[in-house]
């Protein structure tokens, strides 16, 4: 009888531990998702800042992420991003790059194939992320602004 109660106690403790680990894993993933969204917004704002600071006739998207750290198009130091952030899911400062037709960067995404918890109710500027099933589906980018100056009417 005591042996049976002990076995039942051990099984109960094991089950509760498994539930606790699952809850902790879920909380950690939700935290990493929130961090990815914040970092993605930083990259999005940096790409937008780069495009808005483009002198006439020059490309309005960077060739590499390093150009967001120090814009080579200006003689002074102009930074659009403070640092290259680490992906909270992979732990690396390596990102998936989305390139436009001119092979310049128009967006970034995580390299993680983990499933997302958050799939809707994003802030307005991240509404395009709705429906993404995996973290690599969340692309943080901007709509490319044309670099051609408007025609002068005589």
pLDDT digits (tens, 9 = 90+) for 98-110: 999 999 999 999 9
Q: Is the pLDDT at 10 greater than 90, yes or no?
A: no
Give whole-number Cα distances, 152 to 55, 56, 148, 149, in Å. Answer: 18, 15, 12, 9
pLDDT of residue 22: 76
Q: What is the pTM of this model?
A: 0.78
Q: Is the pLDDT at 148 greater than 50, yes or no?
A: no
What is the per-residue pLDDT across 47-59, written as a single tens digit (0 to 9) for each?
Answer: 999 999 988 888 8
Q: Is the pLDDT at 143 greater than 60, yes or no?
A: yes
C-alpha torsion 66→92→49→99, nearest 10: 80
Q: How far is CA 107 from the centre of its chain?
A: 9
Phi/psi of residue 17, nearest 5 degrees: -65, -40
Confidence of residue 46 (pLDDT cuts 50, 70, 90): very high
Mean predicted confidence (pLDDT) in 8-27 = 80
pLDDT of residue 145: 47
pLDDT of residue 21: 73
């Amino acid at each position: 009888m005591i042996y049976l109660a002990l076995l039942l106690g051990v099984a109960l403790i094991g089950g509760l531990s498994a539930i606790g680990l699952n809850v902790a894993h879920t909380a950690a993933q939700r935290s990493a998702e929130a961090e990815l969204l914040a970092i993605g917004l930083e990259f999005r704002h940096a790409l937008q800042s780069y495009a808005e600071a483009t002198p006439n006739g020059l490309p309005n998207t960077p060739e590499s992420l390093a150009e967001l750290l120090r814009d080579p198009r200006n003689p002074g130091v102009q930074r659009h991003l403070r640092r290259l952030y680490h992906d909270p899911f992979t732990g690396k400062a390596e990102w998936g790059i989305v390139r436009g037709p001119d092979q310049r960067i128009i967006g970034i995404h995580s390299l993680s194939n983990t499933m997302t918890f958050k799939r809707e109710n994003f802030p307005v500027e991240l509404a395009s992320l709705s429906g993404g099933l995996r973290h690599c589906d969340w692309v943080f980018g901007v709509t490319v602004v044309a670099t051609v100056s408007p025609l002068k009417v005589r």
